[in-house]
Amino acid sequence: MLKYIVGIDVGGTSIKIGIFDLNVILLKKWDIPTNSSESGKYILEDIYKSLAHKIEDFDEVLGFGFGVPGPIINGMVFQCVNLGWKNYDLIGAFSKFINNPYILVANDANLATLGETTMGAARGYKNSALLTLGTGVGGGIVTDGNIIGGAHGSAGEIGHLQVIREFGRSCNCGNTGCLETVASATGIKKTYLEISKQSNIESSLKQFENPSAKAIIDAAKHGDLIATLVVENFTYYVAYACHVLSVTTNPDIIIIGGGVSKAGKYILNKIESHFRKFSYKPVRNTKIVLAELGNDAGIYGAAALVKNHG
């Protein structure tokens, strides 16, 4: 009898594995380290061995969902630099260990969006989008309950929305002025250093050589003027990204996740306040909320992918 769904989130340093019931309720979760040596050829075997210790009867598993940190094109892993995978047939490779009709794979940020939409901050909604503000800026879009993958696996790559069209900072993607260059933790630190250098205003942050994004946001919460300018700057650009989402896929709800979002309501209110000012009127009431599932969003989404298709 079918009892379980397995959700797997393959990261560059560790792999999260979750066993869920058929309603995507998490029953058990654990991590294993990622062995990316020899073009990542041991990764799936490690996952299989780890699962074999926890699951007695693989016939009780409806399916296995995988999230990977790279684009998926036509079911193939196009490239995952951190894992050593390139044009990798994950589904075929994992089928050698376990014969199951529902071995599915999707991009990890897209699955995090599906996870938050199924069981997290956007549960009950069919149209959503996620923006994760972390070391970089990622995203994903769900419409009518399904992930949008896109032609090149680049749907939801909202971190590479060009928000500054002239004289923007260089981005890792090779462009300039991407949202990621201003709204990631790294971007926030750079904005602070730029404003700080150009100004004689007193700031509680000047005691630190290179304050973290968290320290900057905390200082803003306590009224530090330079830190407040930095926060106004990046929340404005995040709000612009929300505007872009609202006139393209028009989600019911936009979820803000990632490390930067841990600053909570303070950040959320700033993003909302900017968004309400310039969003297209018919979508001005789009909900904007904080993510709820943290690092588990990916395994929830991987399990939800199986549930949607199984």
Q: Does 107 bind a second copy (CB under 8 A)?
A: no
Quick one: 91 or 148, whose CB is closer to a second copy? 148
Stretch that binds a second copy, among 11-19, 220-228, 236-244, 302-310 (CB under 8 A): 236-244
Position among 47, 65, 106, 160 found at the interface with a second copy (CB under 8 A): 160
CA 43 centroid distance within chain: 22
Q: Residue 115 CB, nearest distance to a second copy (Å)? A: 19
Stretch that binds a second copy, among 13-21, 59-67, 141-149, 205-213 (CB under 8 A): 141-149
Q: Residue 187 CB, nearest distance to a second copy (Å)? A: 17
Q: Does 308 bind a second copy (CB under 8 A)?
A: no
Residue 27 CB: number of other CB atoms within 10 A?
A: 12
Quick one: 6 or 171, whose CB is closer to a second copy? 171
Sheet containing strand 72-73, edge to edge, reads: 72-73, 76-80, 85-88
Position among 35, 50, 82, 127 found at the interface with a second copy (CB under 8 A): 127
Q: Residue 151 CB, nearest distance to a second copy (Å)? A: 4
CA distance 188 to 216: 8
Q: Does 53 bind a second copy (CB under 8 A)?
A: no
Q: Residue 197 CB, nearest distance to a second copy (Å)? A: 24
Q: Does 283 bind a second copy (CB under 8 A)?
A: yes
Which residue type is seen at 183? A
Please provide the size of the chain in residues.
310
Burial class (CB in 10 A: 0-12, 13-18, 19+), 285: exposed
Stretch that binds a second copy, among 26-34, 95-103, 185-193, 239-247 (CB under 8 A): 239-247
Q: Does 153 bind a second copy (CB under 8 A)?
A: yes
Q: Does 233 bind a second copy (CB under 8 A)?
A: no
Q: Does 123 bind a second copy (CB under 8 A)?
A: no
Position among 17, 98, 137, 158 found at the interface with a second copy (CB under 8 A): 158
Q: Does 162 bind a second copy (CB under 8 A)?
A: yes
Quick one: 50 or 175, whose CB is closer to a second copy? 175
Q: Does 85 bind a second copy (CB under 8 A)?
A: no
Q: Does 272 bind a second copy (CB under 8 A)?
A: no
Q: Does 45 bind a second copy (CB under 8 A)?
A: no
| The dihedral formed by the CA atoms of 149, 108, 128 and 22, expressed in degrees to the nearest 10 | 100
Q: Does 240 bind a second copy (CB under 8 A)?
A: yes
**Binding residues for a second copy, how many (CB under 8 A)?**
44
Q: Which residues make up the interface to a second copy (CB under 8 A)? A: 71, 125, 127, 141, 143-144, 146, 148-158, 160-162, 165, 173-175, 178, 240, 243-253, 278, 280-283, 286
